[in-house]
Amino acid sequence: MTGLLAKTARTAGTLRILSSVTAILLIAGCTNYYEIPIETPIKPKLDVSAFQRVLVAGFIAGGTEDVDGNLETTRLLRSQLRTKSDLRVIDTDVLPLMEVAQEEPGTEAKAEPAGAPTKGEVGGEAEGKEAAKAQSKDAKDVKTAKGEPKPEAKDAKAEAKGEGPQADKAPAIKDPKDLEPYEHVFADVEYWKKIGEEYQNPLIVTGTVMFTPHQRSGIVQREEEVYDSFGRRRVVPVRTYMERKGYILQPKFIFIDGRTGAVIHSENFREEVLYNANQSTPALSSYFELMDRLIPSFLSTLSSQKIKGTRVLLQ
Amino acid sequence: MRMRGLMLLFLFGATAAPLAADAHADAKKQVDFGITVAQKGLWREAIYRWERAVQIDPKYAEALNDLAIAYEHEGDLEKARVAYEKALDLQPNNAQIKQNYELFKEINDRTTRKDSQDSGDSQDSQ
């Protein structure tokens, strides 16, 4: 009887050892992996090899009056393209697209682009032209008549006062639907072809920008610091009813071939941000916060991007 | 006659198993070398090695996973997708392959969404 018990115990022991060894082997077999960083190149959506220059022409903008969507978007895209793309950025007046769109299609606008701006510099080569002396006084923001940039301070002042290119007009565009009557301008091949000829057939970037205030209330989960009786700090999730306000940015970027005047690509974006109701965030800060989010996507249309990540190699 | 048939079958079985094991061992050597060179940034060489591994042992899910990663690194997203999906067909419960595939899909979906948007919104310039 004792012998039988001893034998059983020995067998159980052997089994335990065997199972442990098997488990170790299994774990060892499963852990043959190596984390490796990778960079996935994403090809640009547009083949822009045919273009040497890019003209960010201007935008039909609407929404809040606190930010001049046309001027700010044009400036921001130009500066981004200047540093992050191989295309030479044409620095010139912003087109008063709303005025162009308001004109009867097929009349003067086609013969001589109403919004044709004074030619500016491309990387230092100043070629002032009187293409459009009748250039709207609205477009005085980016350059002077000689094509020299105005001091930033002046622009900032103008913005503070709300004196953007379209500031003296009644803010007719309050809703994305209000943009529809103006959108035909982007399909005006003759107009864009003319603009293209003015600037040696660049890639033209234009579109619409809606930047609207937004409010939302509801239950929000946030983290709160709690200290127990021993003074230990803990962070706990707390659900509270909150009223929040912020902005929605809805740009549509339209890419036009300056050689043909035809739209070659267009893209819609939508970004929104909400803050606590008692937090006062300037509209311009929100605008830049939201634009920051979609700039990489905009740039990936024109230039290749690399997405960094980590993967697991297996043996 | 039946006896001879059985003998032949036995012989085939006895030799096929070690051959398969040899093939896997050869493929594993290629995979290991591929990992070494990939860690040094030599992705083209790694692709060559992992392609060889998959040729030798087409059911080697890990090799397909590694190959997919290399294709992804080279920007060949379509080839990467095919390789990941083959790897997952072979080992549907492999958490690491699944994780790699999910991360890949995030990038791939973004680019395909852009492509479909292009075709929907854009017009030909000519």
Among the partner residues B66, B122, B124, nearest to A314 by beta-carbon distance: B66
Residue A241 pLDDT class (50, 70, 90 cuts)? confident
Q: A244-270, pLDDT tens digit by residue?
A: 889 999 999 999 999 999 999 999 999
CB contacts, 8 Å: A207 with chain B: none
Residue A27 pLDDT class (50, 70, 90 cuts)? very low
Residue A140 pLDDT class (50, 70, 90 cuts)? very low
How many Cβ atoms are within 10 Å of A148's Cβ, its own excluded? Answer: 13
Q: A202-221, pLDDT tens digit by residue?
A: 999 999 999 999 888 888 88
- CB–CB contact A311 B103 (8 Å): yes
Chain B contact present for A102, CB below 8 A: no
Mean predicted lDDT score pLDDT of chain B: 83
Q: A155-182, pLDDT tens digit by residue?
A: 433 443 334 444 445 447 888 888 888 8
Chain B contact present for A187, CB below 8 A: no
Residue with tokens 């090809």: A43
CB A168 within 8 A of CB A175: no
Residue A242 lies in a domain: no
Once rounded to an integer, what is the mean pLDDT over residues A95-100? Answer: 86
Residue A15 lies in a domain: no
Once rounded to an integer, what is the mean pLDDT over residues A96-107? Answer: 71
Q: What is the DSSP string of chain A?
A: -HHHHHHHHHHHHHHHHHHHHHHHHHHHHHT-EEEEEEEEEE--SS--TT-SEEEEEEEEEEE-SSS-HHHHHHHHHHHHHHHHSSSEEEE-PPP-HHHHHHSPTTSHHHHS-TTPPPP-EETTEE----TTTT--GGGGSSB-TTSPBPPHHHHHHHHHHT-STTTTS-----SGGGGGGGGGGGG-HHHHHHHHHHTTS-EEEEEEEEEEEEEEEEEEEEEEEEE-TT--EEEEEEEEEEEEEEEEEEEEEEEEETTT--EEEEEE--EEEEEETT----HHHHHHHHHHHHHHHHHHHHS-EEEEEEEEEE-
pLDDT at A58: 94
pLDDT at B24: 87
Number of Cα atoms under 13 Å in the Cβ half of residue B12: 6
pLDDT at A229: 86
- Residues above pLDDT 90, as percent of chain B: 64
Architecture of domain B2-119: Alpha Horseshoe (1.25)
Residue A148 lies in a domain: yes
Q: B34-57, pLDDT tens digit by residue?
A: 999 999 999 999 999 999 999 999
Q: How many domains does chain A have?
A: 1
Residues 241-280 of A with CB under 8 A from B: 257, 259-260, 262-268
Among the partner residues B31, B118, B123, nearest to A45 by beta-carbon distance: B118
Asked whether residue A129 carries a pLDDT value surpassing 50, the answer given is no
Task: Tell me which H or E stretch contains B98.
Answer: helix B95-121
Burial class (CB in 10 A: 0-12, 13-18, 19+), B115: exposed
Residue A219 lies in a domain: no
More confidently predicted of A230 and A311: A311
Residue A49 lies in a domain: yes
CA dihedral sign, ordered A204, A207, A213, A219: negative
pTM attached to this predicted model: 0.59
Asked whether residue A112 carries a pLDDT value surpassing 60, the answer given is no
pLDDT at A276: 84
Q: A276-306, pLDDT tens digit by residue?
A: 888 888 999 999 999 999 998 898 888 887 8
Residue A181 lies in a domain: yes
Containing structural domain, residue A116: 44-209+248-314
Residue with tokens 């035909």: A184
Mean pLDDT by 10 residues, chain B (126 residues): 62 59 89 96 96 96 97 94 97 96 88 50 33
Nearest CA in chain A to B31: A315
